Amino acid sequence: MTGRIPLIVANWKTNKKVAEVYDFLQEIQGKLPDPKRVRVGIAAQDIYLHEMVKQSQELDIPVAVISENLHWADEGSYTGETSPAALADIGVSGSIVGHYERRKMFKETNGSVGLKVTAALRNELIPIVAIAEDTTRYNPDDEDMAPLTEIAVGLAGVDKQRAENIVVAYEPAWAIGASETPSLEVIEHSARVIRQSLAILFTQEVADKIRIQYGGSVTPENSKEILGLADIDGLLIGRASLEPAAFLQMVNDAI
Ligand code: PEP
């Protein structure tokens, strides 16, 4: 018993029109498990978030509405950015920070990730920090658990008092949008290295409370075995989360 409640998050990216968003919410209404056993989140484009919060409240759907990005400043002159304070104000529960696609296509760095994590925590948003460091580090005999750069640099300035609210999503770059996942052995090893890195950066007590998700080509075919790994506390799911029945199955695999 780790006490960490699994968190399954859909990452819809730049997909779905508004009617499809409504349809999805109606499809999952009344079908999600008790949030005491599994927490469920949906990350969507900013334009849908306010309506999703309202719909989930009206339909009584226990789903956390999540942004796919956020800015580090609560207000000011940052044309085109979304304020974390504004996200919190409309009832958003968390934000994905530093997704591989943002690091690669929009040049996000560990520095900006750190600022955004701090901004999320300051506004009581759960930051889902995506770690895409490649798995070439994998070596089962390697007992030297040096902190991963993306964690060591990206989370270095984060307030220890709030750090337990962070979620880390381990997403090997090559597995995102692909057709294969790493072996279960590699996923488990990587999650263990991440938790040890978090313990070095914060404390073991804090590291033991932080949820570590796996992401990258998760499907209803492989979700259950990945969720069965000791250090994995949830999933960040792209393509397979777009269809309600598949998403519900993967959510239920976490029970
Ligand atoms: C992602 O981009 O976060 C992701 C996990 O995508 P997919 O599941 O489609 O590989």
Q: Using 50, 70 and 90 to split pLDDT, how confident is the model at 137?
A: low
Q: For 48-93, write each residue's pLDDT tens digit.
A: 999 999 999 999 999 999 999 999 999 999 999 999 999 999 999 9
Residue 131: helix, strand or coil by DSSP? strand
pTM assigned to the model: 0.95
Mean pLDDT across the chain: 93
pLDDT at 217: 97
Nearest to 147 by CA among 137, 159, 160: 137
- Closest C-alpha to ligand 1, atom 7: 238
Helix H, strand E, coil C: the string for 204-234 is HHHHHHCEEEEECCCCCCCHHHHHCCCCCCE
Percent of the chain with pLDDT over 70: 94
Counting every residue written for the chain, the total comes to 255
Q: For 121-133, write each residue's pLDDT tens digit.
A: 999 999 999 998 6
Delineate the domains of the chain, giving CATH numbers in brackets: 7-252 (3.20.20.70)
Catalytic residue (one of 68, 99, 188, 189): 99
Q: For 38-49, write each residue's pLDDT tens digit.
A: 999 999 999 999
Mutual angle of helices 46-58 and 18-28, in 10-degree steps: 30
Residues in contact with ligand 1 (CB, 6 Å cut-off): 11, 171, 176-177, 215-218, 236-240
Nearest to 97 by CA among 38, 154, 164: 154
- Extract the tokens encoding 207: 């590291």
Mean pLDDT of the region 182-191: 91
Residues 6 or more apart whose Cβ sits within 8 Å of residue 152? 197, 200, 201
pLDDT at 136: 47
Question: How far is the C-alpha of 110 from the C-alpha of 92, rounded, in Å?
Answer: 24
Question: How far is the C-alpha of 200 from the C-alpha of 147, rounded, in Å?
Answer: 7
Mean pLDDT of the region 82-110: 96
Is the pLDDT at 140 greater than 60? The verdict is no
In this structure, what are the phi and psi dihedrals at residue 26, rounded to the nearest 5 degrees? -65, -35
Report whether 214 contacts 170 (CB < 8 A): yes
Is the pLDDT at 150 greater than 90? The verdict is no
- Closest C-alpha to ligand 1, atom 4: 238
Q: For 192-247, write each residue's pLDDT tens digit.
A: 989 999 999 999 999 999 999 999 999 999 999 999 999 999 999 999 999 999 99
pLDDT at 134: 58
In this structure, what are the phi and psi dihedrals at residue 232, rounded to the nearest 5 degrees? -100, 125
Q: What is the 245 CA–ligand 1 centroid distance (Å)? A: 17
pLDDT at 139: 55
Catalytic residue (one of 133, 171, 188, 189): 171
Q: What is the 238 CA–ligand 1 centroid distance (Å)? A: 4
Mean pLDDT of the region 82-111: 96
